[in-house]
Amino acid sequence: MNIKSQVLKIAQEAKKASYKLAQASTEDKNKALEKMANGLLKAKVALIKVNKQDLANARKKKLSSAFIDRLTLNEKRIEKMASDIRDVVKLENPVGTIIKTWKRPNGLLINKKRVPIGVIGIIYESRPNVTSDAASLCLKAGNAVILRGGSEAFNSNKKIAEILKSSLKGTAISEKAIQFIPTTDRKAIDELLKLNDYIDLIIPRGGEELIKKVTENSCIPVIKHYKGVCHVYVDRFAKIDMAMNICFNAKVQRPSVCNSMETMLVDEKIAKKFLPLMLKKFKSAGVEIRGDTETRKIMKDIKTANESDWYAEYLDLILAVKVVSDVDEAIEHINTYGTHLSDAIVTEDYSNAMKFLNEIDSATVYVNASTRFTDGGEFGLGAEIGISTDKIHARGPMGLEELTTYKYIVFGDGQVRK
C-alpha cells in the first residue's frame, strides 16, 4: 500500500471510530484508560528495549545530550506515563455538559452542549511521552486521534501506540480510536493535511519549522503550539528580592521549555541597583547575558544584544536583557517581539500591574509570579495537549475542555418560523 492510500485508510478508520467514541460513557472511557496505563507498565521491559534503538540512532547522528535525555525512556519515566494516564481518569469528563440554557419568546428551549471535536491529528517531535499523553487526553474528551511522531523517536512512539491500542481490546472503546502513522516519510504529513473530510483538527507540537510547514500546508484547521519568547518586566516599584527570585526561576529552573524567560526587561529607575545583583546570580548559574546599550553601561563584561536577540527563543541558558524607560516601553517591546505565550511584571504598583495585565496581548499574563507556571498541570487542568498561542477556539494550556466544541440542542412543541 502506498503512503497516500495508507494515510487515507488510517483517517477513514479514525473517523468511523470517532462516532462511537463520542457516545461512550465516562465509565467506559475511564476503564479503557486504566487498561492503557496497565498496558504500559506490563510492557516496560519491551518498551525500554525498543527505546534503545532510538537512542543508538540519536547518538550516531550526534544529537545533543539534552535531546537524547528527552528521548530516553526508563522505568521511572514509563511509570510516570502510566501515572499521567491515571490522572486523566480522575479528571471530570467535559462531554455532555450543558454550557448554557435559555428559552425564546416562541417557546423554543435552546441548550448549548459540549461535544467532542471528532478526529484530531497530532504531529509532534522528540519526547515519546507525548504519544500516551495525546492519546489519553483525546480519548477522555471523546475524540479519535491520529499520531504522527518525529523520526528520532519513531520506534518508541510506534511501540507505545501499539501497547495503547492493544490495551483497548475487550473494552467498549474501539482500537481504531487510536491511530499511528507507521512511517517516517514526510510525505505522510503532506497527505494527512489534505484529509479535511475525515480529520477535524490538527495540533502540531515541535519546532518553529514544523509548525510553519503544517500551518502553511494544512487544509484542516490548526491550533499552533508556537515558540515561546517570554518576558519578565521588573518595574521600578518591584521588590528586589522578589524580582530576583522570579527572574532566576523563569530562566534557570528549566531553560529548555517554551514558558521559560528569554528576555528580561528592567525599568531604568531600578536598573543600577537591580542588574548587578541579578546578573551576578545568573552568571553563577552559567547564564550567558546579552544586553542592550544601557545594560552594558551598567555591566560591561556581557555580550551585546542584536535585534535578532529580541526575537530569539534560546531554550538554553542564554538571556537577552534590556533597560526600558517605563511600563509603557516594556509593553510596547513585549507586544512587538513576543510570541503571546507568557509574560510577567514584577511590581508593587497596582496601576502598573493592571496596565500590564490589560495591555499585554498574551495567552497568560502574570503579576509577581514566574512565567514557568503556564502549564495544564500547574493550572489544575490535569494533563495538557499543548499551549496554544492562537486566539481562536483555544488559548494557553489546552486541557480536556479545549479538546471539545459545542452544538445547540433545541426543543420545541411544533413551532414553525413565520
The pLDDT value given to residue 53: 97
In a domain, 379, yes or no: no
Measured in degrees and rounded to the nearest 5, phi and psi for residue 221 equal -55, 140
Same domain, 186 and 297: no
User: Please, which pLDDT band fits residue 191 given cuts at 50, 70 and 90?
Assistant: very high
User: Please, which pLDDT band fits residue 51 given cuts at 50, 70 and 90?
Assistant: very high
Same domain, 250 and 292: yes
Measured in degrees and rounded to the nearest 5, phi and psi for residue 257 equal -110, 160
Same domain, 167 and 236: no
Mean pLDDT of all residues in the chain?
95
The pLDDT value given to residue 384: 80
The pLDDT value given to residue 226: 77
Q: H-type helices in 22-151, by residue range?
A: 26-42, 44-60, 65-71, 75-90, 129-140
Same domain, 213 and 249: no
pTM for the whole structure: 0.88
CATH number of the domain that 54 lies in?
3.40.605.10
**Nearest 5 degrees, angle CA 375-CA 90-CA 15?**
80
* Cα–Cα distance, 123 to 375 (Å, whole number): 20
Residue 177 pLDDT > 80, yes or no?
A: yes
Residue 387 pLDDT > 80, yes or no?
A: yes
List the beta bridge partners of residue 319.
289
The pLDDT value given to residue 255: 92
Mean pLDDT value of segment 187-193? 96
**Tens digits of per-residue pLDDT, 344-383?**
999 999 999 999 999 999 999 999 999 999 988 888 887 7
**Tens digits of per-residue pLDDT, 269-292?**
999 999 999 999 999 999 999 999
In a domain, 319, yes or no: yes
**Tens digits of per-residue pLDDT, 6-24?**
999 999 999 999 999 999 9
The pLDDT value given to residue 229: 95
Taking CA atoms, 279 is separated from 251, 296, 322, 350, in Å, by: 12, 11, 12, 27
Same domain, 241 and 110: no
Mean pLDDT value of segment 190-195? 97
A 10 A CB-CB count for 74 gives 12
Same domain, 164 and 62: yes
Percent of the chain with pLDDT over 70: 100
In a domain, 389, yes or no: no
How many domains does the structure of the chain reveal?
2
C-alpha cell at 235: 518595574
The pLDDT value given to residue 377: 81
In a domain, 367, yes or no: yes
The pLDDT value given to residue 55: 96
Same domain, 131 and 218: yes
Same domain, 39 and 80: yes
Residue 214 pLDDT > 80, yes or no?
A: yes
Amino acid identity of residue 163, one-letter, is: I
**Tens digits of per-residue pLDDT, 83-101?**
999 999 999 999 999 999 9
Mean pLDDT value of segment 228-241? 97
In a domain, 301, yes or no: yes
* Cα–Cα distance, 85 to 96 (Å, whole number): 21
Mean pLDDT value of segment 121-140? 92
In a domain, 391, yes or no: no
DSSP assignment of 194-225 equals T-TTT--EEEEES-HHHHHHHHHH-SS-B--B
Mean pLDDT value of segment 70-81? 94
CATH number of the domain that 342 lies in?
3.40.309.10
The pLDDT value given to residue 380: 82
Same domain, 56 and 172: yes
Long-range contacts, 354-359 (Cβ 8 Å, 24+)? 355/327, 355/331, 356/233, 356/327, 356/330, 356/331, 359/331, 359/335
User: Please, which pLDDT band fits residue 116 given cuts at 50, 70 and 90?
Assistant: very high
Residue 213 pLDDT > 80, yes or no?
A: yes
C-alpha cell at 319: 538571556
Same domain, 129 and 247: no
In a domain, 196, yes or no: yes
Domain limits for position 177: 3-223+398-410
Same domain, 324 and 240: yes
Q: Is 203 exposed, middle or buried (0-12, 13-18, 19+ CB in 10 A)?
A: buried
User: Please, which pLDDT band fits residue 121 given cuts at 50, 70 and 90?
Assistant: very high
Same domain, 348 and 294: yes
In a domain, 380, yes or no: no
Residue 225 pLDDT > 90, yes or no?
A: no
User: Please, which pLDDT band fits residue 392 given cuts at 50, 70 and 90?
Assistant: confident
**Tens digits of per-residue pLDDT, 302-334?**
999 999 999 999 999 999 999 999 999 999 999
